[in-house]
A and B are shown apart, each in its own frame.
Chain A
């Protein structure tokens, strides 16, 4: 995937900006509070329909406006244009014409996102309005590395669950509608539990909602089991590279139900009965709390590291890992995300590195960039100064990069 150009209107501190990105590596520099992260946030929003920093869309709108508009042109790496060709475009020449040659008109996917204070978010794909979020997610894939990525390791089970769900959605957009269905049944059941507790409904009304939870819950558990297995393999490999095989990373899926691995009918039957019984068993406590205590909404996965010797003890990174080990682990998970999106969809995601340069020691950052060179992903990196970036480059790193200097919502160089 390649972000060809981006337009921002009244987004955060940008009133009107149109910018083209013919280069593979884009280094965004500027002092604090000039809009470096806002630019990455806009790219992230175009991909996921969300901000990575806030839940409030109001905050995304420029302070003296009541709407914002984003437009992005997305291309795939075209067959007759290799990554090297693209990188050799002179920096000064990133005018519209050059890009038009680079990505012939019509080959591009145009994504538009807009939001008004009093209205709903709107998304258009090549001009067509998209009514459903599930039609939208997965069209343009990005992976974001930011200091907050650390919550994948340090955060609550829900943070890891959301990471996994988001990864699956990027690969399999239909998963989102399954998840939404499950969540809608869950909300209805929880409300019903409270009504039964207050003697406003009878307990036999629970059964149909239990059935619906079982039906969707088993499918969700199955998809998560498969995806976590792939993520485990990939994150483990990257972790070994990052630590030069001095440590081994293990991911363990801890489903609220038992794992569902095959679509074999007899096994499915076992899983269905298992979920039914668990719901039955927890019914009395569920009624007291007005909340459903078993099901995929309580899933989590845990991260362990051990020494290469397979007999050594596994220690949970969240509890016993050092700061450095926790960072390496979150990095390995993110690299796993890049690799999975690549291997499962055939598209290399656009990679956003927000403020992470200062967090990595030299060996790891060198390895990190070597890996990106392997993937050939388009990179967007923020840093306060160019020297900060140069200091992190591997000695044999000779890739051309484009410097974008930002000052108060404007591009000055």
Chain B
């Protein structure tokens, strides 16, 4: 890349650190920055810096936040004896967007995966146990995806929680997606959906 001036080469190199950005996209973005007004470019640089200096993970729930503890953890209108466990802040926001949930959260920052060297120590599990004990939590809802790793994590958490504390543990339903056609769904999913069936009608 020595045919670029050094500053340009450095920018292209930095942009390539982003996910889904390869050499060609990085080059296109770099040229785009070059054409931008100084103000726009500074705006982008500044907002990246702000995110890094002003935002951090909430020490209680692990959500991204500009105040610690975060706004959800300090919201007085929320049910403070209900915790929903999710994999990462993305999933937390997905649930938050539905406006259907009014408790607190706890993000694990990953799922168990021996092959990737992730054990309970690598996840924010002890923090969850501490909260359950100290804050007298009544119910923990596990909302982790139904991949094998996700399910192993859910099973492990359930076992640990029910052994250590008197807390009720539930898991979000897994099964047929809304609008899904039974024909196209594998046996395991249907079996799960049947297992988790609920009374219907008046």
Does A163 make an interface contact (CB < 8 A)? no
Chain B residues near A212: list those with CB within 8 A: 148, 151-152, 155
- Interface residues, chain B, with chain A CB atoms under 8 Å away: 112-115, 119-120, 148-149, 151-156, 159, 185-188, 191
Number of A interface residues, CB 8 Å? 25
Interface mask (A309-331 → B, CB under 8 Å = 1, otherwise 0)? 00000000000000000000000
Instruction: State whether B159 touches A207 (Cβ < 8 A).
Output: yes
Instruction: State whether A178 touches B186 (Cβ < 8 A).
Output: yes
Instruction: State whether A185 touches B152 (Cβ < 8 A).
Output: yes
Instruction: State whether A188 touches B152 (Cβ < 8 A).
Output: yes
Docked Cα-Cα span, A211 to B154, in Å, equals 11
Least CB distance from B193 to A in Å reads 14
* Sample of 4 more A-B contacts, CB < 8 Å, known A188-B149, A205-B119, A208-B155: A185-B152, A191-B115, A207-B155, A208-B153
Least CB distance from A49 to B in Å reads 19
State whether A191 and B114 are in contact (beta carbons under 8 Å apart), knowing that A174-B186, A205-B119, A216-B188 are contacts in the complex. Answer: yes
- Interface residues, chain A, with chain B CB atoms under 8 Å away: 174, 177-178, 181, 184-185, 187-189, 191-192, 195, 200-201, 204-205, 207-209, 211-212, 215-216, 219, 223
| A-B residue pairs in contact (CB < 8 Å), sample of 6 | A191-B114, A192-B114, A205-B112, A207-B156, A208-B155, A211-B152
Q: Which of B119, B153, B191 contacts A201 (CB 8 A)?
A: B119
State whether A219 and B152 are in contact (beta carbons under 8 Å apart), knowing that A191-B114, A195-B114, A201-B114 are contacts in the complex. Answer: no
Instruction: State whether B148 touches A181 (Cβ < 8 A).
Output: yes
State whether A188 and B187 are in contact (beta carbons under 8 Å apart), knowing that A205-B156, A208-B156, A208-B159 are contacts in the complex. Answer: no
Chain A residues near B112: list those with CB within 8 A: 205, 208
Docked Cα-Cα span, A178 to B192, in Å, equals 13
Chain A residues near B115: list those with CB within 8 A: 187-188, 191
Chain A residues near B185: list those with CB within 8 A: 174
Docked Cα-Cα span, A216 to B115, in Å, equals 19
Docked Cα-Cα span, A10 to B27, in Å, equals 33
Chain B residues near A208: list those with CB within 8 A: 112, 151-156, 159
State whether A211 and B188 are in contact (beta carbons under 8 Å apart), knowing that A181-B148, A188-B115 are contacts in the complex. Answer: no
Chain A residues near B153: list those with CB within 8 A: 208
Docked Cα-Cα span, A215 to B195, in Å, equals 12
Instruction: State whether B155 touches A211 (Cβ < 8 A).
Output: yes
Chain B residues near A184: list those with CB within 8 A: 148
* B163 to chain A: closest residue by CB: A204
Query: Which of B148, B154, B156: most chain A Cβ within 10 A?
Result: B148
* A184 to chain B: closest residue by CB: B148
Chain B residues near A181: list those with CB within 8 A: 148, 188
Chain B residues near A189: list those with CB within 8 A: 114
* B191 to chain A: closest residue by CB: A219
Docked Cα-Cα span, A348 to B83, in Å, equals 55
* A196 to chain B: closest residue by CB: B114
* B185 to chain A: closest residue by CB: A174
Instruction: State whether B188 touches A188 (Cβ < 8 A).
Output: no
Chain A residues near B148: list those with CB within 8 A: 181, 184-185, 188, 212
Chain B residues near A200: list those with CB within 8 A: 119
Instruction: State whether B120 touches A205 (Cβ < 8 A).
Output: yes
Least CB distance from A137 to B in Å reads 14
Docked Cα-Cα span, A49 to B155, in Å, equals 35
Instruction: State whether A219 touches B159 (Cβ < 8 A).
Output: no
Chain B residues near A201: list those with CB within 8 A: 114, 119
Chain A residues near B155: list those with CB within 8 A: 207-208, 211-212
Chain B residues near A174: list those with CB within 8 A: 185-187
Least CB distance from A203 to B in Å reads 12
* A182 to chain B: closest residue by CB: B148
Chain A residues near B156: list those with CB within 8 A: 205, 207-208
Least CB distance from A206 to B in Å reads 10
Least CB distance from B116 to A in Å reads 9
For the complex of A and B, the 5 pairs showing the least CB-CB separation, nearest first, are: A208-B155, A192-B114, A208-B152, A191-B114, A174-B186
